[in-house]
Amino acid sequence: MEYPYYPGCTLKTTGKKDEEAALEVAKLLGFELKELPTWTCCGVVYNLTSDVMADHLSATRTLIRAQEMGRELKTNKLVTLCSMCYNVLKQVNLMYKNNPDKLYNINLFMDTEEDYLGNIEILHFLEVLYNDIGLEKIKQKVKTPLKDLKVDPYYGCMLLRPKTIAFDNQDNPHVMGDILSALGAIVIENPMTVECCGAHQVITNKEAVLDCVQRIVNISQSKGSDVIVTPCPLCQYNLTTAQKSLFQKGKINYQTPVIYLSELLRIALSDNNENYLKEYMFIKDKLEKRGGL
């Protein structure tokens, strides 16, 4: 199976690790993420006004690229790795479904592009794993069970809100936890899993991000997590850097590593993971101690 795949700007830079790991995980699970040949920024934040259309252009262009590639690959799906890209693309797509007149107008405006027909389905990588591949198959493919590794799946806001775009239970999501259980990990229940990490406020109001992260990490640590797992490059950044500041300020006692779900998947699924494990010594230590390796 081949899926058209939209990476987004950050996955090419600070979120590179996520992309590298995810592409490999896909291969290990028998599918391929084919990057759109050209793409533009998704817009990052969905414009919430009722009257500005210009901000939807970026996402629309990507939907058209997906439509083109989908014809070739005979699919109407488009896979994203980044939570914010997922959110924006899906919200824009939905907006067109509910407002055909807006789709008509935007097609009229984009007169050098083919018309967007409104049929693309936006999927997050997690959905592909959970729905199209399935837990059973993932379980079968595990080479190194993450035995007894205590993981805290952190969703953040963009995958589950607003409700109309959520692919999991909005308040009590389980998809990421289920996948991690399939890898043999112990999944911690953190009520803060759908709390916001502060998002772009890291630029304009860093203090707010520190507060958000402290609340998330406090519970995670009190429940004894070894690692926080996230699908979003902004959450990964905020959680990691805010912990550093919080630690320096003495507001937390230690820093919990924050890694991408794809990274953990790669460790569990690949035959030869020695190389990867080197990068994640804390996991190696934990696994060895608990007889997981």
Closest CA to 188 of 160, 231, 218, 158: 218
Closest CA to 29 of 11, 2, 5, 7: 2
> Does residue 205 touch another protein according to CB under 8 A?
yes
> Does residue 137 touch another protein according to CB under 8 A?
no
Place of tokens 């550093």: 244
CB-wise, 66 or 268, nearer to another protein?
A: 66
> Does residue 108 touch another protein according to CB under 8 A?
no
> Does residue 253 touch another protein according to CB under 8 A?
no
Q: Please choose, out of 145-153, 162-170, 246-254, 281-289, the segment that lies near another protein by the rule CB under 8 A.
A: 162-170
> Does residue 67 touch another protein according to CB under 8 A?
no
Q: Which of 112, 253, 272, 275 binds another protein (CB under 8 A)?
A: 112
> Does residue 2 touch another protein according to CB under 8 A?
no
Q: Which of 86, 154, 167, 237 binds another protein (CB under 8 A)?
A: 237
What is the smallest separation between the CB atom of 2 and another protein, expressed in angstroms?
Answer: 23
> Does residue 44 touch another protein according to CB under 8 A?
yes
What is the smallest separation between the CB atom of 171 and another protein, expressed in angstroms?
Answer: 8
Are the C-beta atoms of residues 91 and 76 closer than 8 Å to each other? no
Cis peptide before 4 (omega within 30 of 0): no
Cβ contacts of 269-276, under 8 Å, gap ≥ 24 = 269/25, 269/28, 269/29, 269/138, 269/141, 269/142, 269/143, 269/183, 270/24, 270/28, 270/143, 270/144, 271/143, 273/143, 273/144
Q: Which of 17, 20, 40, 115 binds another protein (CB under 8 A)?
A: 40
Q: What residue ranges in 125-226 does DSSP mark as E strands?
A: 150-153, 186-187
> Does residue 218 touch another protein according to CB under 8 A?
no
What is the smallest separation between the CB atom of 132 and another protein, expressed in angstroms?
Answer: 26
Structure tokens at 208: 């707010």
Structure tokens at 104: 């008509």
Place of tokens 């793409």: 39
Closest CA to 221 of 190, 175, 261: 190
CB-wise, 182 or 202, nearer to another protein?
A: 202
CB-wise, 24 or 55, nearer to another protein?
A: 55
Interatomic CA distance for residues 82 and 234, integer angstroms: 9
Provide the binding-site residues for another protein, judged by CB under 8 A. Answer: 8-10, 12-15, 38-41, 43-45, 47-52, 54-55, 57-58, 61, 82, 84, 110, 112-113, 157-158, 161-163, 170, 195-196, 198-205, 207-208, 211-212, 215, 233-234, 237, 241
